[in-house]
Amino acid sequence: MRPTRLEDFIGHEHLTSANSVFMSGARNGSLGSVIFWGPPGCGKTTLARLYAKQTDSVFKELSATEVGIKEVKEVFEGAKNTFQLTRRRTVLFLDEIHRFSRSQQDVFLPFVEQGHIQALQLLGATTENPSFKLTGALLSRCRVFVLERLSDEAIEKIAKQALQRLSFERNGDHEPDVFEIPSSPTLGPSTQGSDLPSQSVESATATATPLFPSFPQVTEKVITSLASLAAGDARTALSLLELVVNANMPETELIVSMRQSVSVSYDRTGDSHYDMISALHKSVRGGQGSAAMYWLARMLGQGEDPLFIARRLVVCASEDIGLADPQALPLAVAAFQACQVIGMPECRINLAHIVAYLSEAPKSTRSYEAYKRAEEAAKADSTAPVPMQVRNAPTKLMGDLGYGEDYHYNPNYIHPVSNVYLPPQFNGQVFLRKEGDTEGKEWDEEALKDWEERENGGMPWEGRHTSSSQP
């Protein structure tokens, strides 16, 4: 069901438009080595195959999850021999390239240099951020093309194009030079405005219009539902389409069957794992309890480890709430322990409890920022001696040497007393500053107006009249 020409590739117009860098490189063969970065099912493999066909190259496909350096070197040697005999370049498509270790990735370096690019061209594919997963040396020698999740509209077009191709095959016809995607028929009131009907919705098969005579069960509503369920993954969409074309059931039952066959995709070690926990943490920090609860539900619903979430919330309790609410940390620790003892699914209630509490708690970063200032000072001079007055003096010799001399034990005095606590070069420096200190913070009038409009009902922030930082 994959397209056979670059012209038939759907989606990612920033790559496939006539004047794009990618298409220009495909036409004249000057693209060099490439890394495709995008989520599963967005078209990385298909794009690589079509590129090899467009450039009349020998196509070799490997997966880093299944092969090692031995197999890769065999492709390298074969590419050199092929080029010497036929002058044809070999395109090596390495899926999941981020699975190779740093030393394994270094094997590619001699072959992606300009002098060898005539014989071999590397097209790597990854679902992970290449900045973190690929070596700097390899990354600097490759172009990175970003592929986003496909839109529902693109998924619908892909499904219709595949159906059209299947229809030609079933009828024994030749494929046309240009595929014409059938337009959506006018839908009656019973099918408009809903792409995922419940089982209770009455079947509209009697009035639904088939898109292709060869597949009477495939209606516009079925395609719309398929696109929604695929969630931007063309591979999932085509798997669902296979279920659809082999099914013989009413429209509503078919949609329910598709829904039940789809499992939610979530990579617990990939970018979505870190993106969602970041969204949860930042929602809590911003006092947006509803948003935080949404990300919590998304992560738990997609199989995230509750202890991973609980650990981040323990950090959040100290980093973002801190001294503004001393109860936040023990409550977060209690939630973590509850997750350990209870487990899923019940511990989701404990996590919801602490997410709500932390979101609504007052915020203070005093302790966190104080540590960062102290850390910078400690790094600046890590050899500064401890002042004699506050040194430990467990022996007579150490006392005779002046350790702890003139130290004032604070509880012994009715009044405040002073000691030399810091090395001389840091005397007078304030690492732990008072609440409300605005040093190093900025006033962003545009950001404040945006907050007033979106979250404060258009009313001015009360701090406008009291803030000393207002310009």
138/109 Cα distance (integer angstroms): 6
**If pLDDT is split at 50, 70 and 90, which confidence band does 58 have?**
very high
What CATH number has the domain bearing residue 64? 3.40.50.300
Whether residue 299 is found in the same domain as residue 236: no
On the question of pLDDT at 261 being above 80, the answer is no
Place of tokens 């013989």: 248
Each residue's pLDDT tens digit, 433-457: 776 666 666 667 777 777 677 777 7
Name the most confidently modeled range: 168-182, 250-264, 277-291. Answer: 277-291
Domain annotation covers residue 458: no
The whole-number pLDDT of residue 382 equals 81
The whole-number pLDDT of residue 16 equals 86
Q: Select from 325, 360, 395 the last residue of a domain.
A: 360
Q: Select from 326, 360, 394 the last residue of a domain.
A: 360
Q: Environment class of residue 97 by beta-carbon count within 10 Å: exposed (0-12), middle (13-18) or buried (19+)?
A: buried
- DSSP letters of 244-310? HHT--S-HHHHHHHHHHH------TTSHHHHHHHHHHHHHHHTT-HHHHHHHHHHHHHTT--HHHHH
Structure tokens at 196: 């995922």
Name the average pLDDT for the chain. 82
- Mean pLDDT for the stretch of residues 10-24: 88
**If pLDDT is split at 50, 70 and 90, which confidence band does 205 have?**
very low
Domain annotation covers residue 134: yes
Domain annotation covers residue 332: yes
Domain annotation covers residue 370: no
Whether residue 307 is found in the same domain as residue 176: no
The whole-number pLDDT of residue 285 equals 94
Handedness of CA 442, 447, 451, 452 (dihedral sign): positive
Q: Which of 11, 77, 5, 74 lies closest to 39, judged by CA?
A: 11
- Mean pLDDT for the stretch of residues 237-248: 86
Residues 69, 107: contact at Cβ < 8 Å? Answer: yes
Whether residue 122 is found in the same domain as residue 232: no
Asked, as a colleague might, if the bond just before 345 is cis with ω within 30 of 0, I would say yes
Whether residue 156 is found in the same domain as residue 82: no
Whether residue 347 is found in the same domain as residue 226: no
Whether residue 93 is found in the same domain as residue 176: no
Whether residue 15 is found in the same domain as residue 142: yes
61/375 Cα distance (integer angstroms): 49
Name the most confidently modeled range: 64-78, 114-128, 307-321, 363-377. Answer: 307-321
Each residue's pLDDT tens digit, 348-406: 999 999 999 999 999 998 998 899 889 988 888 888 888 888 888 888 888 888 888 88
Per the DSSP assignment, residues forming a β-bridge with 146 are: 37
Domain annotation covers residue 69: yes
- Mean pLDDT for the stretch of residues 98-113: 86
Q: Select from 91, 120, 146 the last residue of a domain.
A: 146
**If pLDDT is split at 50, 70 and 90, which confidence band does 62 have?**
very high
Whether residue 232 is found in the same domain as residue 257: yes
Domain annotation covers residue 471: no
What's the number of domains the chain is made of? 3
The whole-number pLDDT of residue 177 equals 45
Domain annotation covers residue 169: yes
Whether residue 278 is found in the same domain as residue 325: yes
Whether residue 140 is found in the same domain as residue 16: yes
Residues 267, 234: contact at Cβ < 8 Å? Answer: no
State the residue range of the domain holding 128: 6-146
Whether residue 158 is found in the same domain as residue 216: yes
The whole-number pLDDT of residue 188 equals 37
What CATH number has the domain bearing residue 315? 1.20.272.10
The whole-number pLDDT of residue 207 equals 46
Name the most confidently modeled range: 117-121, 165-169, 411-415. Answer: 411-415
Domain annotation covers residue 397: no
Quickly count: other Cβ atoms within 10 Å of residue 316's Cβ: 25
Whether residue 11 is found in the same domain as residue 138: yes
